[in-house]
Structure 1
């Protein structure tokens, strides 16, 4: 039986997290890769037409919970991750209200897209402003604060929530790694975060995801990797 789950991956984007998730769960899925426009660095029109958001990630699947097994197309990283974990992973990587670390998991599950990644995106936009613009200092200060929170958390546990990988980690890794190809920031002051990235990078599923999903991009797990793109 062919896979019903299709992952549309825009190269050098957060949809890498969805590919990694599928590998961690050992799923049968179809991967369709799309390349950025080399002039604009934006998604091609064919990718934008997949979703009203016009951004990555996008997945397609058969909704077996509907009477007619409707075909669905879904965007938004957290929505895609939750769909895949619940429908194909029997709830794996999603903590439950009765789990000991439920409160911590709920915070970190929402932290990446609610706080950390928006700040990183603001830094991308602010990169076009003069260096002495007050907005630059405000955004850098916010990112530094968020990195401090991540570092403190990882000083207490192997992953964001205890000693087992969860969906919160799947969300977190992109802004700490690949997103720095657009907005460089130094992780040298954060040894626990670097330990965390090293351990993630050694996971067979993470390595396999990059082998399948990327052609030239390598996991950007170092303290200060070279930027691939200019935001000036």
Structure 2
């Protein structure tokens, strides 16, 4: 039976994590790729129809749990990841309350979108301010603190939660890699993060993600990768 899952991927965006997730789970899905507007670097107008957020990612699926098998469209990365893991992945990559690392997983699962990624966005906006502006100092201080936390964790653990990849890693890798096309972050002082990214980069599912979903972008796994965009 053909898959009901459609993944709308905006190139050079966090929707890459949804493609990567599907590849890690080994599930059937249809991939639809969209390019950014080359003038604004924003999502194309089609996203206005796909999601009220007008941002990536967006997935479409048939909700087999409803009586009429309703067609759904879903946005927000964490929501898309949880939907796919539960409905198509039999709960894989989502830790359970009885798992030994449940508390750690719960923290890191929410840390990326709750703290780290908003701070990256803060740093992006702060780039337009004078260097001595308080907002610049706050953004840099927070992001350095969060990178220190991630480094400390990965110095003791292969992945964010033990020795197995989880959905928390699927969330975390984008702001440490592709998002740096927009928010330059030097990772030279973080050997454990760089080790982590190198290992992620060797995963067959991660490689396949870029083969399928990106036409020109190479995985941004180095300490100071070159951005495909000029600002």
2:24 matched residue in structure 1:
24
Q: For the Cα contact (< 8 Å) 1:17–1:171, is it kept in 2?
A: yes
Q: Measure the CA separation in 2 of the matches of 1:98 and 1:167.
A: 17
State the 1:47 CA deviation: 1.9
State the 1:159 CA deviation: 0.1
Residues 1:200 and 2:200 are matched in the alignment: yes
Query: Structure 1 stretches of 5 or more lacking a match?
Result: none
Q: For the Cα contact (< 8 Å) 2:120–2:143, is it kept in 1?
A: yes
Q: For the Cα contact (< 8 Å) 1:95–1:105, is it kept in 2?
A: yes
SS at match of 1:162: coil
**1:126-205 aligned within 5 A:** 126-205=126-205
Residues 1:219 and 2:219 are matched in the alignment: yes
2:65 matched residue in structure 1:
65
TM-score where L is the length of structure 2: 0.98
1:46 matched residue in structure 2:
46
Number of equivalent positions: 231
TM-score where L is the length of structure 1: 0.98
State the 1:100 CA deviation: 0.1
Q: For the Cα contact (< 8 Å) 2:217–2:228, is it kept in 1?
A: no
State the 1:124 CA deviation: 1.1
Q: Measure the CA separation in 1 of the matches of 2:48 and 2:161.
A: 34
State the 1:125 CA deviation: 1.2
SS at match of 2:92: coil
SS at match of 1:49: helix
Q: For the Cα contact (< 8 Å) 2:8–2:58, is it kept in 1?
A: yes
SS at match of 2:50: coil
2:82 matched residue in structure 1:
82
Q: Measure the CA separation in 1 of the matches of 2:17 and 2:50.
A: 18
